[in-house]
Amino acid sequence: MDEKSLKPQLRFKEFTDAWEQRKLSKIATMHARIGWQNLRKSEFLDSGDYYLITGTDFDDGKIDLKNCHYVAKERYEQDKNIQVKNGSILITKDGTLGKVAYVSNLQKPATLNAGVFNVELLTEDTDRKYLFQYLKAPFLMSYVSQKATGGTIKHLNQNILVDFPVIRPKKIEQQKIGTFFSNLDNLITLHQRKLDKLSNVKKALLEKMFPKNDSDVPEIRFKGFTDAWEQRKFDEVISRIATGLNPRDNFKLNSGGTNYYVTIKNFEHGHLHLDENCDKIDDTALKQIQERSDLQKDDILFSSIGRVGDCYLIESKPKNWNINESVFTLRPNKAAVNPLYMFHTIHADCVLSYILNNVTGSTFKSIKISDLKKAIIPLPNKEEQKKLGIFLSKLDNLITLHQRKLEKLKNIKKACLEKMFV
């Protein structure tokens, strides 16, 4: 490599020096539990004073200590080379290969099972957090794949790792890069926790804001509402159920048209994705499908196969898209049920459990229109339906906002990994 190629596209402005390339074996050692030291399942303890870290404890660059097993003191003391401390870098060598974790928040001594390498620095001129980020970037697995020589590597051999090229700047620049990515990782973790918390809040509310099977009122409801809820079949509150068309004998996909052909894969968790993952149809095919589906504002798209029960509420009459035969379109009878309320209620356990209990098929789960019509929906009065629909939509919007922030941060990190490393 020439000196020019050893400079990243993006770097902190005060640095201009070229980076150097060193083999991993020149800057770190890699140790794992050797064969005769391996542990029997009976030695995996549910409690104790010494953590036993395995490949299953890796969680997106961290170690999830909540589910860690423990090991006896003599097993911990058996090999100092695999004793783990805060700041240790770990790499999985069995199972899912090449997962990397940086150990922090360790409250007890820890050791490793046989499927994990402990990476320890040999020199003072390498920053731990920099090396962790470099190993966690795609470079390592790309290198491992190249060494597979025609087959899939089922075990990450130390002989492969020792020659892995690590390209690095001087330590002060390493430290800035390591800190930058650590801060970015912390921000991603923060938004992930917020998202998980909101998702759990929604799950709990869906359980409590709709009546249980043996009750006609929910545990939690808005002030001012005291009336008992009704139980109605879908068939009584839906004025129409239809499907789209299969292209077979009807039209050709991706033959120059610009309209989107929506299948069950194109809507998920209440969102419709009209993007490059959609097949395309021409105007003639679009008109042909619309004559069958008759999609209108406030119709609900319903996945009848695969992710059975996934839904999307149509916000305005479609102009440049329509659906295939695996997507049901449900038209709520507005005299009986608020469309927004019905959309959210499908995801509540009181409805979804019936749907999932009535799917058929072993490989591809699906539900028949005749069975869907028999599903029971709990109905409060129209005003309470409206309030519930608006409340759950606002909660969904908040969840979506955090999802987008999280996705944006992950994309930023991906771009930085490509441009801030050589």
38 in the same domain as 129: yes
143 in the same domain as 238: no
244 in the same domain as 150: no
Tell me: the pLDDT tens digits for 192-221? 999 999 999 999 998 899 998 778 999 999
Model pLDDT, residue 3: 41
Residue 9, classified by CB atoms within 10 Å of its CB into exposed (0-12), middle (13-18) or buried (19+), is exposed
234 in the same domain as 164: no
8 in the same domain as 151: yes
Model pLDDT, residue 2: 44
- The conformational region for residue 361 under phi > 0 = left, psi -120 to 50 = alpha, else beta, is left
Number of domains in the chain: 2
Low-confidence stretches of the chain (pLDDT < 50) are 1-4
156 in the same domain as 28: yes
89 in the same domain as 8: yes
Model pLDDT, residue 11: 92
Taking alpha carbons only, the member of 326, 332, 325 closest to residue 308 is 326
Judge whether 185 lies within some domain. Answer: no
237 in the same domain as 361: yes
Judge whether 405 lies within some domain. Answer: no
Tell me: the pLDDT tens digits for 306-326? 888 899 999 999 999 999 999
- The conformational region for residue 112 under phi > 0 = left, psi -120 to 50 = alpha, else beta, is beta
243 in the same domain as 156: no
What's the pTM? 0.80
236 in the same domain as 148: no
Model pLDDT, residue 148: 61
Chosen domain end from 341, 360, 379: 379
44 in the same domain as 165: yes
**Residue 322 sits in which domain range?**
230-379
Judge whether 199 lies within some domain. Answer: no
Model pLDDT, residue 240: 95
The residue assigned the tokens 């919007």 is 397
Model pLDDT, residue 315: 94
Judge whether 210 lies within some domain. Answer: no
Judge whether 243 lies within some domain. Answer: yes
Q: Whole-angstrom Cα distance, residue 422 to residue 419?
A: 7
- CATH value at residue 340: 3.90.220.20
